[in-house]
Amino acid sequence: MRLTRRYRFCASHRLHAPQLGVEENRALYGKCNNPHGHGHNYVLEVSVRGPVDETTGLVANTTVLDRLVARDVLAPFDHANLNLQAPAFRTSVPTTENLALEISRRLLRDWSSSFPAGTKLEKIRLHETGRNIFELLVEQE
């Protein structure tokens, strides 16, 4: 069974790779390389996969999932400048691809202590714009 929960947060960023020159960054990232940055109203979908618990009838406790996402994703990223306020992006470009990877890392830190062994984080889907949607299939042991 798969359960998907949707969350929203707003954040700003500037796409700029310090190892590339000014013209390379401008050519690669276009308007997203604006020195003042720009913002997005992100929509995050977190998909959980596992068996339905015979006692509760649930694949995952949504209250537990909501708390985990609120603490590890929404609190640090909502209304943040990712370049300046998120330590993970001090050394990497805060593309939405890298943001999805960071979200999965954060959720996986406490996953096993939050959910039963058979319940897995399956997928992160991150909507940056109406046209740009990034999907990360999470590999778990």
Q: 85-123: per-residue pLDDT in tens?
A: 999 999 999 999 999 999 999 999 999 999 998 999 999
Q: Which residues contact 65 (CB under 8 A, 6 or more apart)?
A: 3, 5, 46, 48, 114
Per-residue pLDDT, 52: 96
pTM, 2 dp: 0.96
Contact call for residues 59 and 119 (beta carbons, < 8 A): yes
The structural domains of the chain, ordered by start, are: 2-137 (3.30.479.10)
Q: Which residues are catalytic?
A: 32, 79, 128
Does position 141 have pLDDT exceeding 80, yes or no? no
Per-residue pLDDT, 139: 85
Q: 5-52: per-residue pLDDT in tens?
A: 999 999 999 999 999 999 999 999 999 999 999 999 999 999 999 999
